[in-house]
Structure 1
């Protein structure tokens, strides 16, 4: 007896090419959003946004937030939050000013002491979160109040300035040139070298995926994507080369991004961080020392908060009681906009950097347009709400 299949529902097999395109758009949605915002403000500001001077200012103005975002994304991945980073940055900046300005401690030693102070603060908060099991929201809220108060006390309500010139150059200096022309030659050379490294690593990564029989992009899309990445990199370095070259702070940021991306993607510690955020009880049962790992995540956040405070103090050339105000909200927003999940277990360092750049370009673009701070805060709030709503929508859709 024959069965009539004409009226039976048929499974439509999705095209692998279409699926691949959709996955890449989904994974690169924030990059697309960043490019869209850049183009939008470039048009609205009549070309002011992407001028060499303004791009350099964007890097200098957002560096301390990006440093905080790198540490904050690890905290959020583990399922916690840190509200104290702005106050810690202000407190460490005050300590560094007292050391360098009042007591004339050598810059290198003062920086080391400041970073150690940040680590101790992180250990203090990590102890209460990891071992005493007080919610991180409460611990770091207490820390925000405590270290803001200590900043006022040690500064006696006054600003301390100026810092030594060598310290200022950390945040406002540029790498020296090897030529004397109008174009910063060393920056162009660095761009070319980075392009070669990028091409090599991308090709090597593709070959590894092919050898392990993973699904890879079609060769044409891979080549087009690689050409686009190299072109963007060289355009960026050329724009910097037409002004003063690569800022010192950009070198520090690049080192941090590469280091923390490697740690989160390629090391056992990174896998443990994601495991804790995904399911802490399951991670503990599988042998991961969840308390110790959470503790060290907060120690790391303390060190990066201290570094952010040093960068901000060097940029401002002063330690002030109001330093670090709302830094924590910008860092948290950068992580969520960059794809981190409010539930923990999801997030990347590059994503947090992209989220920070989205916030920074929006701030800069709206300032160039003459929008007031009230409008800027409102728009940033809506963007943050939309990012978290998008995360929840994706989570519900996946389940």
Structure 2
């Protein structure tokens, strides 16, 4: 017989996941009040999407690395290197813009394979390999750029992070196309959630009551459509948001519906048990870092497009922002726990906090301290949950 969980049971069973969404809503509300509504203005919401898209892309790959029990400290340097290679080809040598994008992706894959080899097959801890990579790839960036910045990129390249799709279906004061895409995405989301609920019922797993299920869909839909409406009143649908949406959908499917995803969780949850179960640990670890390199290449192309050039110091501290997004979003420091959607919410929390404090004119040093405290509290909450779970067994 299928167990139907109430609202209290849902929050109790998955406090960390539920808590991060509640925290996000509270933080948005507080900063909206503190900035007199400027935070949620159409122009500012568009700027948040453009400014933090590359961090969210990195967080997608980073959460998979963390779930497997590893860490990657090199992604900021890889973002700089991939952007530098793209700039040299496109700006310095006149190659087509798409050649630069493909080169950035290829360099990211090669970097990921290099680091994956040392971690998976040589057995060096990822912390050491990627710490070395952080230095190695930053030095390579300086070599590639010859210690100078390159700019500007052609207009087509700049559209990757700065382009918009608008006016396709018209609209008076707002872009209809943006709203239609958001509505279609919500239909897909609702269908996916319904199928997932039916699957849990089939295997007699606990689910929330149907009214609560519908209420959750209505609330999500309201938030998404309100967000889409604000974007439609500004410049329309950002191209980079489409890229990010496709990546979130793809990697959510990979981590929750595929054998590879299940093996990643198995390795992070209990490495010895995964080995005894026949999981090819070395192969999985190798591809985890190849994937991280690929997404760092994507982020490198997006960031260089956003900044309209390549700089030797590009990507500085990006790895820490991506790691913070994952831990704030519910990933465990010991591996085996984490979700792509949680990492996205964690990244948005960091983005909203940074943007809100900037709008309030708060000093940069204070912003850094606040973000550090939030990360510390998120990890402390993770440890508290584990100790409480262990005490109740």
Q: TM-score with structure 2 length normalisation?
A: 0.95
Q: Which residue of 2 is the match for residue 373 of structure 1?
A: 364
**Residue 71 (str. 1) matches residue 49 (str. 2):** no
Contact 2:147 2:312 in 1 (8 A): yes
Q: Which residue of 2 is the match for residue 48 of structure 1?
A: 38
> Please, which of 103, 106, 123 is the counterpart of residue 96 of structure 2?
106
Contact 2:166 2:178 in 1 (8 A): no
Question: Cα 1:264–1:155, aligned 2, differ >3 Å: closer, same or farther?
Answer: same
Q: Which residue of 1 is the match for residue 385 of structure 2?
A: 394
What is the Cα deviation at residue 26 of structure 1? 4.4
Deviations 1:193-229 (A, max 9, x none): 2233233333333333333322221222122112111
Contact 2:58 2:322 in 1 (8 A): yes
Q: Which residue of 2 is the match for residue 11 of structure 1?
A: none
Deviations 1:225-254 (A, max 9, x none): 121111112111111111111100000000
Contact 1:198 1:230 in 2 (8 A): no
Q: Could you say what secondary structure the match of 2:316 adopts?
A: coil
> Please, which of 243, 246, 265 is the counterpart of residue 274 of structure 1?
265
Deviations 1:162-196 (A, max 9, x none): 00110100000011322163211111212222233
Q: Could you say what secondary structure the match of 2:153 adopts?
A: coil
Q: Which residue of 2 is the match for residue 254 of structure 1?
A: 245
**Residue 121 (str. 1) matches residue 125 (str. 2):** no
> Please, which of 287, 295, 316 is the counterpart of residue 307 of structure 2?
316
What is the Cα deviation at residue 105 of structure 1? 1.2
Q: Which residue of 1 is the match for residue 285 of structure 2?
A: 294
Contact 1:334 1:356 in 2 (8 A): yes
Q: Which runs of 5+ in 1 are unaligned?
A: 1-14
Contact 2:182 2:224 in 1 (8 A): yes
User: What is the correspondence of 1:342-357 to structure 2 with a 5 Å cutoff?
Assistant: 342-357=333-348
Deviations 1:102-131 (A, max 9, x none): 111112222112211111111111111111
User: What is the correspondence of 1:23-42 to structure 2 with a 5 Å cutoff?
Assistant: 23=13, 26-42=16-32
Q: Which residue of 2 is the match for residue 192 of structure 1?
A: 183
Distance 2:156 2:262 in 1: 39
Report the more deviating stretch, 195-204 or 133-142.
Answer: 195-204
Root-mean-square deviation (Å)? 1.4
**Residue 96 (str. 1) matches residue 101 (str. 2):** no
Distance 2:363 2:322 in 1: 21
Q: Which runs of 5+ in 2 are unaligned?
A: none
Q: Which residue of 2 is the match for residue 207 of structure 1?
A: 198
Distance 2:199 2:332 in 1: 29
Deviations 1:300-327 (A, max 9, x none): 1111111111111000001001100000
Distance 1:150 1:166 in 2: 27
Moved over 6 A (4+): none
Distance 2:207 2:275 in 1: 34
Distance 1:20 1:321 in 2: 48
The number of residues matched between the two structures is 385
Larger radius of gyration: 1
